[in-house]
Structure 1
Amino acid sequence: MSELAAALTAAMRTGGSDLVVFDRESAAWRRHRWPEVHGLAERIAAWLLDRDRPAALGLVGEPTLEFVAAIVGAWLAGAGVSILPGPVRGAEGRRWADTTLTRFAGIGVRTVLSHGSQLDALQALDPSRPDEMVVEDLAVAANTGRRCPEPPAPHANPAILQGTAGSTGTPKTAALSPDAVLANLRGLNARLGVTPADVGCSWLPLYHDMGLSFLLASALGGMSLWLAPTSAFTASPFRWLAWLSESRATITAAPNFAYNLVGKYARRVSGVDLGALRVAINGGEPVDCAGFERFATAMAPFGFDAGAATPSYGLAEATCAVSVPAPGTGLRFADVSDETGTRRHAVLGAPIPGTEIRISPRHDAPDGVGEIEIRGASMMDGYLGHAPIDHQNWFPTGDLGFFSDDGLVVCGRAKELITLAGRNIFPTEIETVAAQVPGVREGAVVALGTGENSARPGLIIAAEFAGRDRAGARAEVIQRVASVCGVVPSDVIFMAPGSLPRTSSGKLRRLDVRRSLEAVD
């Protein structure tokens, strides 16, 4: 087996800690020893080997015991893993299922495991599902009655097929080797000083690199992990604090918007104890310094140590973590000034062990600011379907930043990306889907992420509309985008034909549209 599978096997078989899974139906936590999780993983591996070991296993569903076991089970069988999100609120089930299986087929996945209503929706596509696509119940695969025989020989399959920026088949898929994944997990655990005495608590989605890495780092580090579905957090965000208190968690992680939300409405918090928390990672989207500082201040009466605030930087192409401050560092700042004024940015720490960062100068950036480039043992082998990359070469991230005395500072991102709840989405994919609605003018749609420093960042779609039924078209745009792109627009604004600003060559001026909408607000 791969070194990744062997390392997880050693940690899970001998660990005395637990995987504690939140059950939404009963609103109760279910405790399972890591050896029990590994036993289920061996059964799922046997099920996969009976089917000639697919190159990659697709997973869709809530983070149950069987779901977690299936990730490790795939690696025990020498297969890779690709995890895709379930339908968001407002999505039409059949359209979501068709999009999901099409995405799996596009990256070579022919075996998919799921459960519950999502399994029902995926299986209901018969006979229209892609050729040779097998969709099975996780419970069936986990209850084969026997365990994986002798470990298969190491295989060249990637360990993880991780989507980068986007949610359809158009954006790229990073192929991460077992060695890269293991290097990143070890580097992260070393930086955080993880021991079996630690307790993790996470509601991050496992289809996101940060959520998946949090799970795997916990298992590898031999620590207990309290794992809740993202939907449980979304339904009641302040549950997160109750979970941290009940679990006596020492490590947690969340995107910036979650800290903003709690800090903004801190008056609703009561009866929790955050005194055990020593690391609170803020990653997956740009860190709002004021919002994170407000969270730390507001939670101090509940025992939160400001030194636990851990703003971090990562990307899927590097498995997940790139730079993380040492525990106890807390929130530190660096300023960037230009002709428009001075902006404060969070310092995101030093590279984790095994990763290098450099700043490549750019003529269009302020003095000292350049493009962030990385290399190291955690790097992907390349994008699926593209030429492989050389791990010795520097990889340009598309982000702008610089080094302060305390570590890396990121002060800009690729302008075209929309970041929502830690997910990066190309505006063009949203615009293409919205333009399919009758009455919406093709090539006259702009998707914008707004309010990144607010408690609830949103997606606004502005489009030129030539139809009659605005209300019906607006509802259909929301449903289509939710079903295909996996994000619910907060607003859809229709304009008269010819209203959207364009360049002399006919290109849409997105920044002008943004300014117009912000002026209206």
Structure 2
Amino acid sequence: MNPVLPQVFAASFSRFGDILAVTDPDSSLTYSQLADRAEAVSAWMAGHGGGEGRTRVGIYATNSTDYVAAYVGAIFAGAVPFLVDSAFGPFELSRIAEDCSLDLLIHAPDAEVSSLTEEPLSHGGELGALAAHRLRSHASPRLPLLDTTEVCRFTSGSTGRPNCIEFSGEAVHAAAANWAKGTALGAEDRIACLAALSNGLAFNTSLLAAFLSGASLHLSRGLPTASRVVRLLERTEATRLVAFPALYESMVRRGSGAGFEMVGAAISSGAPLRGSVREEFTRLTGVPVHNYYGVAEAGPLTFATDGIGAGLGTPLPGVQLLADEIGIRVRSESMGSRYLNAAGVFEDRVDSQGFYHTGDQGRLEPDGLHLTGRTGRMVNVGGRKIDPLEVTEVLREVPGVLDAVVFEYENRHGEPTLAAVVSAGPGTATPELRKHCSRVLPTFKVPSIFHVTDEIPANSIGKPSVQRLRRLLDDALSN
């Protein structure tokens, strides 16, 4: 089967020529220059391929123009890029390399990769500031890719092994094209992207979507502090901001709307954005926050065009969405094909009509989709099923509470219990939290363990990190 993405990228590069395509704090590339860089990467890769079938290239780095050139260069070379979250540690990276039989790894020069690499690969600047290694072979069999697979991405890996999602070129193209159409992305847009390109928020809304439209993509490095974001917006005169909820919360804490004069829309996804934060951000900056709902396996699904209501918006082009007692099910043109390293798991979530069961619960209202919980993550405590999201929303009602996460935790006797970690301002104490929950919830839904902290630990995509939350409780309860 003829690959789709090489022609798609080449057409955009040819069409938009000398228009600015992508920048980072240290460099910028026009569409023509990006084409030249990608062709150079492709030629370099042709001389360093390996393994059976198409070369499998892991890209393990933070956002940069070099990252984009490496990604497109791999596509031009007929290789399959595997976009690995740079927040993954050596353990997760080694499991990915083994599960997916990666041949090459393009990475940040300071990345800890010695435990899984075989030899460094020299280059004459084709990869810019990035480095490359050939990976060690593994005893496990090399799982075959589908013939249509052109890009692979990963679930967050918060539990178990990160699942590797195979995407056809048609699905990647559809995700970008339908996003551009459904959100009216145009050549005049300048996108300030604060999410990692390996994550669906950036991958679907900013990478190929920007280039299909002739827009410019502006990338940041380092921790996205409020001041750094403002400098990026001012330097690029960005018209769109793409970021996780934590960034908008940071801007609200900053208490100033300066620097947002050119921004017409802010886009949020990855974790729920509280209505109070969204409203305060818009009050400070004058910029509406457009919620977006997507899942890694099915691509971008909804978009709130008005940026006013609390809903997650209506389905994007190419998306069919059902929300009923079974849960939220979707069928999209941007859907992945399967998990490479988890046979049958993806397929089991797709029904006979081709709808993928997201595991989320929700309802469709006039302003769009509203999430209400999860179908598969109920906590069982003492034989009673509890939805952690319900308890979380009750805790967020307490004055002074900034955020909360509720989850199952083993007490000192090894029994499952309900725990709540709450970030709050000074003066908020456990007795107040427990009393409020007791007033609102049945006794069995009141957490047995409360812990108040300054900030909820999050993973690289802005979602609470349950592993770090468990360690936080372990440390707190052992003292």
TM-score by length of 2: 0.71
Of the structure 1 ranges 485-494 and 197-206, higher mean CA displacement relative to structure 2 is found in 485-494
Cα drift, residue 201 of structure 1: 0.6
Answering whether residue 380 of structure 2 is matched by residue 383 of structure 1, we say no
**1:318 is matched with which residue: 295, 298, 302?**
298
Number of the residue aligned with 1:354: 318
**Distance across 2 between alignment mates of 1:62 and 1:283:** 19
Answering whether residue 397 of structure 2 is matched by residue 397 of structure 1, we say no
1:432-451 correspondence to structure 2 within 5 Å: 450-451=421-422
**Distance across 1 between alignment mates of 2:120 and 2:416:** 36
Is contact 1:113–1:138 with CA below 8 Å preserved after alignment?
A: no
Number of the residue aligned with 1:276: 262
Aligned amino acid, residue 237 of structure 1: A
Cα drift, residue 450 of structure 1: 4.0
**Distance across 2 between alignment mates of 1:71 and 1:202:** 17
Considering Cα pairs closer than 8 Å and 6+ residues apart, tell me whether 1 or 2 has the greater RCO: 1
**Distance across 2 between alignment mates of 1:21 and 1:237:** 19
**Distance across 1 between alignment mates of 2:150 and 2:38:** 15
Answering whether residue 110 of structure 2 is matched by residue 117 of structure 1, we say yes
Cα drift, residue 83 of structure 1: 2.1
Number of the residue aligned with 1:166: 157
Answering whether residue 181 of structure 2 is matched by residue 190 of structure 1, we say yes
Tell me the secondary structure at the aligned position of residue 277 of structure 1.
coil
Tell me the secondary structure at the aligned position of residue 252 of structure 1.
strand
Number of the residue aligned with 2:43: 46
Cα drift, residue 58 of structure 1: 0.1
Cα drift, residue 263 of structure 1: 1.2
Aligned amino acid, residue 383 of structure 1: Y
**Distance across 2 between alignment mates of 1:137 and 1:157:** 31
Number of the residue aligned with 2:367: 406
Is contact 2:151–2:168 with CA below 8 Å preserved after alignment?
A: yes
Cα drift, residue 6 of structure 1: 1.0
Answering whether residue 32 of structure 2 is matched by residue 32 of structure 1, we say no
Q: Compared with structure 1, are the counterparts of its residues 264 and 407 closer, same or farther at alpha carbon in structure 2 (3 Å cutoff)?
A: same
Cα drift, residue 200 of structure 1: 0.6
Is contact 1:358–1:372 with CA below 8 Å preserved after alignment?
A: yes
Cα drift, residue 495 of structure 1: 7.3
1:144-293 correspondence to structure 2 within 5 Å: 156=147, 158-167=149-158, 170-213=161-204, 214-229=206-221, 231-233=222-224, 236-267=225-256, 270=258, 272=259, 274-293=260-279
**2:377 is matched with which residue: 382, 403, 415?**
415
Tell me the secondary structure at the aligned position of residue 149 of structure 2.
coil
Cα drift, residue 494 of structure 1: 4.2
What are the superposed Cα offsets for residues 264-313 of structure 1, whole Å, 9 maximum, x if unpaired?
3314x54x2x232222111111121111111111223xxx3xxx320110
Q: Compared with structure 1, are the counterparts of its residues 359 and 264 closer, same or farther at alpha carbon in structure 2 (3 Å cutoff)?
A: same
Q: Compared with structure 1, are the counterparts of its residues 295 and 37 closer, same or farther at alpha carbon in structure 2 (3 Å cutoff)?
A: same
Cα drift, residue 17 of structure 1: 2.6
**Distance across 2 between alignment mates of 1:285 and 1:138:** 39
What are the superposed Cα offsets for residues 101-125 of structure 1, whole Å, 9 maximum, x if unpaired?
332221222211113211xx31x33
Number of the residue aligned with 2:431: none
Of the structure 1 ranges 195-204 and 410-419, higher mean CA displacement relative to structure 2 is found in 410-419
Aligned amino acid, residue 412 of structure 1: G
**Distance across 2 between alignment mates of 1:266 and 1:176:** 41
1:457-468 correspondence to structure 2 within 5 Å: none
Number of the residue aligned with 1:373: 329
Is contact 2:302–2:312 with CA below 8 Å preserved after alignment?
A: yes
Aligned amino acid, residue 255 of structure 2: A
Tell me the secondary structure at the aligned position of residue 72 of structure 2.
helix
**Distance across 2 between alignment mates of 1:408 and 1:86:** 31
What are the superposed Cα offsets for residues 430-480 of structure 1, whole Å, 9 maximum, x if unpaired?
x9xxx9xxxx989679997844899xxxxxxx9x9xxxxxxxxxxxxx9xx
Tell me the secondary structure at the aligned position of residue 297 of structure 2.
helix
Tell me the secondary structure at the aligned position of residue 109 of structure 1.
coil
**Distance across 2 between alignment mates of 1:157 and 1:449:** 44
Question: How many residues align structurally?
Answer: 391
Is contact 1:57–1:113 with CA below 8 Å preserved after alignment?
A: yes
Aligned amino acid, residue 22 of structure 1: D
Structure 2 unmatched runs, 5+: 129-144, 380-387, 390-404, 426-446, 450-457, 459-464
Q: Compared with structure 1, are the counterparts of its residues 447 and 48 closer, same or farther at alpha carbon in structure 2 (3 Å cutoff)?
A: farther
**Distance across 1 between alignment mates of 2:15 and 2:319:** 29
**Distance across 2 between alignment mates of 1:60 and 1:171:** 14
Is contact 1:111–1:134 with CA below 8 Å preserved after alignment?
A: no
Cα drift, residue 155 of structure 1: 8.2
**Distance across 2 between alignment mates of 1:45 and 1:184:** 24
Tell me the secondary structure at the aligned position of residue 205 of structure 1.
coil
TM-score by length of 1: 0.66
Aligned amino acid, residue 283 of structure 2: T
Cα drift, residue 134 of structure 1: 5.9
Cα drift, residue 87 of structure 1: 5.1
**Distance across 1 between alignment mates of 2:424 and 2:179:** 27
Q: Compared with structure 1, are the counterparts of its residues 176 and 36 closer, same or farther at alpha carbon in structure 2 (3 Å cutoff)?
A: same
**Distance across 2 between alignment mates of 1:106 and 1:448:** 34
Q: Compared with structure 1, are the counterparts of its residues 290 and 173 closer, same or farther at alpha carbon in structure 2 (3 Å cutoff)?
A: same
Give the aligned CA root-mean-square deviation in angstroms. Answer: 3.8
Aligned amino acid, residue 281 of structure 1: I
Number of the residue aligned with 1:493: 474
Cα drift, residue 5 of structure 1: 2.2
Tell me the secondary structure at the aligned position of residue 72 of structure 1.
helix
Is contact 1:78–1:157 with CA below 8 Å preserved after alignment?
A: no
Tell me the secondary structure at the aligned position of residue 241 of structure 2.
strand
Aligned amino acid, residue 68 of structure 1: V
Cα drift, residue 219 of structure 1: 1.9
Cα drift, residue 97 of structure 1: 3.1
Is contact 2:324–2:362 with CA below 8 Å preserved after alignment?
A: no
Of the structure 1 ranges 486-495 and 246-255, higher mean CA displacement relative to structure 2 is found in 486-495
Aligned amino acid, residue 256 of structure 1: P
Aligned amino acid, residue 353 of structure 1: P
Is contact 2:301–2:315 with CA below 8 Å preserved after alignment?
A: yes
What are the superposed Cα offsets for residues 42-88 of structure 1, whole Å, 9 maximum, x if unpaired?
22222333325744210112323221111111222222222223358
Is contact 2:175–2:334 with CA below 8 Å preserved after alignment?
A: yes
Aligned amino acid, residue 358 of structure 1: L
**Distance across 2 between alignment mates of 1:496 and 1:289:** 33
Is contact 1:113–1:135 with CA below 8 Å preserved after alignment?
A: no
Number of the residue aligned with 2:10: 9
Q: Compared with structure 1, are the counterparts of its residues 114 and 136 closer, same or farther at alpha carbon in structure 2 (3 Å cutoff)?
A: farther
**Distance across 2 between alignment mates of 1:453 and 1:179:** 45
Aligned amino acid, residue 215 of structure 2: M
